Structure 1
Amino acid sequence: MQYHNTPFDQLRVGDTAELKRLCTEDDFLVFAANSGNHNPLHLAREDGDGDGQNEAIAPALFVGALVSAVLGNILPGAGTMYRSQKFEFADRALAGEELLARVRVVEKRPPRDVVLETSVTRPRDGATIVSGTAVVIAPDRAMSFQELEVPGLVVQRHRHFDALLDKSRPLPPIPTAVVAPEDPNSLGGALLAARETIITPILVGCPDKITRAAHELGQPLAGVEIVPVEGHAEAAGKAVDLVVDGQAGALMKGHLHTDDLLRAALRHDRGLRIGRRFTHVFVMDIPGQPHPLLVTDAAINIEPDLPTKIDITQNAIDLAISIGMKTPKVGVLSAVETVNPAIRSSIDAALLSKMAERGQIKGGLVDGPLAMDNAVSMAAARTKGIVSPVAGQADILVVPNLDAGNMLAKQLTYIAHAEAAGVVLGAKVPIVLNSRADDDKARLASCAVAALHAARIGGFGQ
């Protein structure tokens, strides 16, 4: 779009201009970050006035700023500067509403001052949100500009995890054996998930250490079951016993080594094997992305062979369906997007793709080999001439090995500001596998993912 300004000598009384704008929750978050006005009335997930309803009311000066967009872009346009602005606020706008900002020239004051009547209305019902008067210094020469490209803003909001939490809350809390929650991080995540009614924690470990962790958190343990066990290996074994005996529908890692937990889950006698390899899936909420992105396997299988990759792929598809993806799109990654006999990951990717085509992997669309760029970018896929229902829009990324997966997941977390929920699949029940560096949001989301999966595959949560 090209913008043309109107210099002072070409302006006429009665000239008008207008712009439409759809208000979004993210607009209000950006305004809060830029202005420092964190009034909860403007934040969609807060009840800012205590009436029991969460409102996302547009900040008044955000609405007023829509007037400045008309003045600066159209009339008078480029080169315009404010002298003053008067606003009268008659109504309020909400997130999701379309607004119309309009200005009309009412007076010219040489040498270059212009008085304009300003308003913002809601076209849906014709309501006036704000009215007022602006006095500006008009430009003194004609100019035109292509629509300027300004740096994009990504709101670091994890809307996909919020949606998963909303889905999981109505389910019955899933009894979850939390293994050695003997530090504030692991215990706090379990207690938070309990407050959100996602899990009913059964704390398995040293009672003294668990109590000290609760004291550090300042949270009571009244009503929370504690199964006293000394030693991490013993705690893991007891937690698995609870699952085998039908007393728990999920496992959750606390303050112990992953190997200790998985060793108990993989034991031949009273273990949790169901015939598939145990595989790990990161469910990643990346700000600005239209859907969660699943990355697998980044935590358990170091150099997976083809049979293991089959289970990795199938487990991830099953989990994606559990969290609401109807037909998940799986991009099997390699360094290239063509089969190269010298690159094993490209051969494995092609085989997995053909196996899915023949029904040996079910429930999703699988394509590979795909390089990272053409797995997630439609533009990159078009540039490479790749025609595929998966390329450019993958929901699941199957990585060549643990090194690649771990690096990808951590890059997304620390550079792209993603939150990552971690779950182990292939066992009788989902296993929540958190990192010590995970924050409360990640731990809570991991519990939500596990609860949704457990509810879909049967047992607790039904």
Structure 2
Amino acid sequence: MDTLENRTFDEISPGDSATLSRTLTTRDIDLFAVMSGDVNPSHMDAEFAAEDSFHRIVGHGMWGGALFSTLLGTELPGAGTIYLGQSLRFHGPMGLGDTVTVRVTVREKHADGHRVIFDCLCAGADGTPLITGEAEVTAPTEKIRRAKVDLPEVHLRRRGGAYEALIRATDDLEPIRTAVVHPCDAVSLAGALQAAEMGLITPVLVGPETRIRAVAEAEGLSLAGVDLVDSAHSHASAEEAVALVRAGKAEALMKGALHTDEVMSAVVDRAKGLRTERRMSHVFAMDVPSYPKPLFITDAAINIFPDLAVKADIVQNAIELVRCMGVEVPKVAILSAVETIMPNIPSTVEASALCKMADRGQITGGVLDGPLAFDNAISLAAAQTKGIVSPVAGQADILVAPDLEAGNMIAKQLMYLAGAASAGLVLGARVPIMLTSRADGEISRVASAAMAQLFVRRRAAGGVA
């Protein structure tokens, strides 16, 4: 119904009742936990719940109790009702997926204060009482008929939730020996040590040893068993870390508390760096609350105005990474401002050329489409509205930006306006480089480490073309 209509005190008689049925979902449990702060593991932790009294996830008892309030406040008596008291007794659990029926029945009316006392029952699908009790309210004396208020949309997410599958996929892999460049602040050091504790990396801390140990002591972090390579300053840290890779003593790099330019200057050095025949590029892995899977964005950090040849390498780097993340054939959207080829917008022409390069085997491992505007790339509804028939539109795994400015803006807007979490790697060098921002937290560093581990180990095992 689109309207709420109450029943006044004079319209109510003993025996009158109202009912509703609900099926308990994970969303109900999460919403109630967020609202109440009750994160009892019996409700939230499947592993704990399996060993607990009921051997399964159960709902909060007061979730059922709240349904009595729903009936009293919206149906009987409805709008204008004032709660005076409630007593409940809990007889059995409401399990995840269980359907319950809630009933309130008028037991007594009292003219003084227009009080009404209700019997309350919440029963399982088989009629077994789960909650019983009574409620006392002041019933309204004036008729009220109002349009229902639209409820706000609520988007639930666990920060970094899209990374959980990536991290689980590393369970059977050996950690990768990683040179951590200048981890001289709490976030970068803690992130590296957490990644090590999770079995993602074996860290080699490269930086001023006295500073690293001081940070560890101040933060209560243990460096027991961790290799340290002393260096004088951040530039030297980057050079030492790159030298470890060249010597075969590290399989990846992780950026710490220094500027990206300092790391990349050592990496791209023609004589002592880590160049390959492939152009280096950066790939963001975004955990976007409103998108059903990880969203990879490239290139938002390395190549400012890439030409067609560079874009081909950018696309190939991203495809190989995403395949190592477990996506057999990544869907690649080549972005522009429009979805049609327009000679006066060069990115549309380059997008079409990249797609033809894929058709001719010059780019392999993924399915490409472009040009696509951002909305068409990530929204099936938007693509269908414009009549776009495509295996990529509305379901892209990878977004290829026309240039660094556009890619960086897309990624940052998702982070700061859509609440996205980010991780990222630089690819195309001899080893993957975890190029997290100094503002990124531990989850970004851990997720980046998991990506690097998957990339190194699966590529070595022939997991990518």
Q: Which amino acid aligns with 1:92?
A: P
| Cα distance change on mapping 1:219 and 1:328 into 2, 3 Å | same
Deviations 1:409-436 (A, max 9, x none): 1111122221110111122321101111
Whether the 8 Å CA contact 2:180–2:205 is kept in 1: the answer is yes
SS at match of 1:313: helix
Q: Which residue of 2 aligns with 1:206?
A: 208
SS across alignment from 1:168: coil
Q: Contact 2:107/2:119 (CA < 8 Å) preserved in 1? A: no
2:225 maps to amino acid: G
Shift of residue 63, structure 1, vs aligned partner: 3.0
Contact residue 6 and residue 74 of structure 2 kept, 8 A? no
**Which residue does the alignment assign to 2:342?**
340
CA–CA distance in structure 2, aligned partners of residues 374 and 439 of structure 1? 31
Equivalent in the alignment of 2:98: 98
Q: Tell me if structure 2 keeps the 8 A contact 1:46–1:54.
A: no
Question: Which of residues 226, 229, 242 in structure 2 aligns to 1:227?
Answer: 229
Distance in structure 1 (CA, Å) of the matches to 2:252 and 2:461: 10
After TM superposition, give the deviation of residue 380 of structure 1 in Å: 2.3
CA displacement 1:216-271 (0-9 Å, x = unmatched): 22212111011223343433233233333333221111223323322333344564
Match of 2:59 in 1: 58
Equivalent residues in 2 for 1:46-445 (5 A)? 57-73=58-74, 80-93=81-94, 96-107=96-107, 109=109, 114-123=116-125, 128-136=129-137, 141=143, 143=145, 145=147, 148-158=149-159, 159-269=161-271, 271-445=273-447
Q: 1:58 to 1:276 in 2, by over 3 A?
A: same
Whether the 8 Å contact between 1:19 and 1:70 is mirrored in structure 2 is no
Comparing 60-69 and 338-347, the one that deviates more: 60-69
- The corresponding residue for 1:35 is 36
For residue 55 of structure 1, report the CA deviation from its aligned partner.
Answer: 8.1
Q: What's the TM-score once normalised by structure 1's chain length?
A: 0.87
Structure 1 distance, partners of 2:58, 2:330, is 36
Deviations 1:79-131 (A, max 9, x none): 5553433211223345x4334242142436266655444333454x8764423
Residues 11 and 249 of structure 1: is their aligned pair in 2 closer, same or farther, counting only changes over 3 Å?
A: farther
Counterpart of 1:18 (choices 16, 20, 24) is: 20
Structure 1 contact 3–73 (Cα < 8 Å) conserved: no
Contact 1:71 1:103 in 2 (8 A): no
Quick check: 1:44–1:54 contact (8 Å CA) kept in 2? no
Cα drift, residue 366 of structure 1: 1.9
CA RMSD between the two structures? 3.3
In structure 1, the gaps of 5 or more residues are none
Against the structure 1 CA distance between its residues 393 and 220, is the aligned structure 2 distance closer, same or farther, given a 3 Å change threshold? same
Q: Deviations over 1:128-183 (max 9, x none)?
A: 4423233445566484756x431112235221123322333442222111112122
Letter in 2 for 1:454: V
Partners of 2:105 and 2:124 in 1: how far apart? 21
Shift of 1:30: 3.6
Alpha-carbon offset, residue 457 of structure 1: 0.8
Say if 1:152 and 1:334 are closer, same or farther in 2 by CA, change over 3 A: same
**% of aligned pairs identical?**
45
Segments of structure 2 that go 5 or more residues without pairing to the other structure are none
- Report the Cα distance in structure 2 between the residues aligned to 1:156 and 1:35, rounded to whole angstroms: 17
Amino acid at match of 1:285: D
**CA separation of 1:76 and 1:368: change in aligned 2, threshold 3 A:** farther
Deviates more, 1:196-205 or 1:161-170: 161-170
Q: Provide closer, same or farther for how the CA distance between residues 72 and 291 of structure 1 changes in structure 2, counting only shifts above 3 A.
A: farther
- The two structures have a TM-score, normalised by structure 2, of 0.86
Q: Shift in Å at residue 403 of structure 1? A: 0.9
